[in-house]
Amino acid sequence: MSHPASLPADALLAEPAPQAARAATVWRDRLSLLLDATGEGIYGVDTEGRCSFINPAAARMLGYTADEVLGRNMHELTHHHHADGAHYPVDDCPIFRAFRAGVPCRIDSEVLWRRDGTPMAVEYTSYPILDAGEVLGAVVTFVDIGERKQQEQQLLQAREQLERRVAERTQALSQALAQLRDLQAHLEHVREDERTRIAREIHDELGSLLVGLKMDVSWLEKRVADEPTLRCKCHGMRGLIDNAVENVGRIITDLRPSILDHQGLWATLAWQVQDFIDSSELTCHWTIDIAPNLPAPEGDQATAIFRIFQEMLSNVARHARASDVTIRVRATPGDLTLLVKDNGKGAPPSAFERADAFGVMGMRERAGHHGGWLQITSEPGQGTQVILSMPLERSRQQERAA
């Protein structure tokens, strides 16, 4: 057996040639088998856009045989129009850009046209074929995503329908809430009117009776001056009548402070602060800053502001367990701010959002009906601060002046 080194040089060079050809054939066969087996459509185009190869899946999806497609311009055959029927210029085609500019692409918003003229929604990729930096063509792979597009469209329609229903329900709830607030405002107005009527009747009827009864007892007391027992009894009766008159006055004030109707909101707020200081015996720092010559609100807004302020002070007296309170009233043209801050036990923010926090809900509803808002800041052990801000409506005095 001869040593390989003794062989001629040309024999050494020529020996691998059959092996290389065989390897190339094997790889070509394997690639052909892979193209035939894959379910995705795959085809290649040269630099003129003509089909250089196509696998059975691609030909089947397009409705052609492989022989009918080879050598034909693929853009003119399958990509000539958009989904809406508009003409698709070849210069705009991403597939052709892949081999003309060497730019790969991935598109899922276009269609390929079948042989029978029906569009097929596809997701396709196009990659340039390069050899030593030179673009020889492109390879295109595509899959039919018609079912996926249909599901997406159904999902989109379902979502739009759901959003439409949500919008309709939201509108209905908003209308119902507006009607409920209007009803609440109407009930508050009716209740205030009823309170005013009852307070007036108590003042006119019961107040007059008590005054008359006191005068009669005084008359009788003078007539029994020589009867110590009867005189003492009359004196006791007069004391009971005085207590009754005082209680009637307090009830009338609780129902509807007459100062609100006769002296206006600013005087009523000052009176309420002083009454709170006298009854609570807390250390109170208070200021009332009203812009000069600023007319006080009237009607329902004045009543709403007073009732909210009354509830703010009442909550401090009943729940806060405070020793020090700061009260500030500030009114400028067009805006009113009330602040009540205590150093009491405080509460977590969730306590003011509970479904049974009717006092807070009432204050917020009154404020919201007149375009205002209520802010409550509180933490356990750190006291509570309540702020009411409300735009002031023009009073009848201002309207007359205008």
CATH classification at residue 57: 3.30.450.20
118 with 208, same domain? no
Give the mean model confidence (pLDDT) for residues 211-222.
84
Give the mean model confidence (pLDDT) for residues 121-140.
87
Long-range Cβ contacts of 252-256 (<8 Å, 24+ apart)? 252/199, 252/202, 252/203, 252/207, 255/195, 255/196, 255/198, 255/199, 255/202, 256/192, 256/195, 256/196, 256/199
Of 402, 167, 397, 161, whose CA–CA distance to 299 is shortest? 397
- Nearest-angstrom CA–CA distance, 68 and 70: 6
- Band (pLDDT 50/70/90 cuts) for residue 395 is low
In degrees rounded to 5, what are phi and psi of residue 108?
-130, 20
272 with 214, same domain? no
- Band (pLDDT 50/70/90 cuts) for residue 28 is low
85 with 176, same domain? no
The pLDDT, as a whole number, for residue 87 is 93
243 with 296, same domain? no
273 with 352, same domain? yes
* Paired residues of 341 in beta bridges: 326, 385
Give the mean model confidence (pLDDT) for residues 386-392.
93
- Nearest-angstrom CA–CA distance, 214 and 221: 10
The pLDDT, as a whole number, for residue 118 is 93
State yes or no: pLDDT of 13 exceeds 50.
no
- Band (pLDDT 50/70/90 cuts) for residue 289 is very high
Determine, yes or no, domain membership for 165.
Answer: no
Determine, yes or no, domain membership for 108.
Answer: yes
Range of the domain at 232: 170-256
180 with 97, same domain? no
CATH code at position 371: 3.30.565.10
290 with 375, same domain? yes
30 with 66, same domain? yes
State yes or no: pLDDT of 174 exceeds 60.
yes
Determine, yes or no, domain membership for 315.
Answer: yes
200 with 130, same domain? no
The pLDDT, as a whole number, for residue 8 is 42
Query: What are 304's two structure tokens?
Result: 């709403």
316 touches 338 (CB < 8 A): no
Pick from 206, 223, 256: which residue ends a domain? 256
Determine, yes or no, domain membership for 126.
Answer: yes
Q: Report the number of distinct structural domains present in the chain.
A: 3
136 with 175, same domain? no
232 with 252, same domain? yes
pTM for the full predicted model: 0.54
The pLDDT, as a whole number, for residue 30 is 63
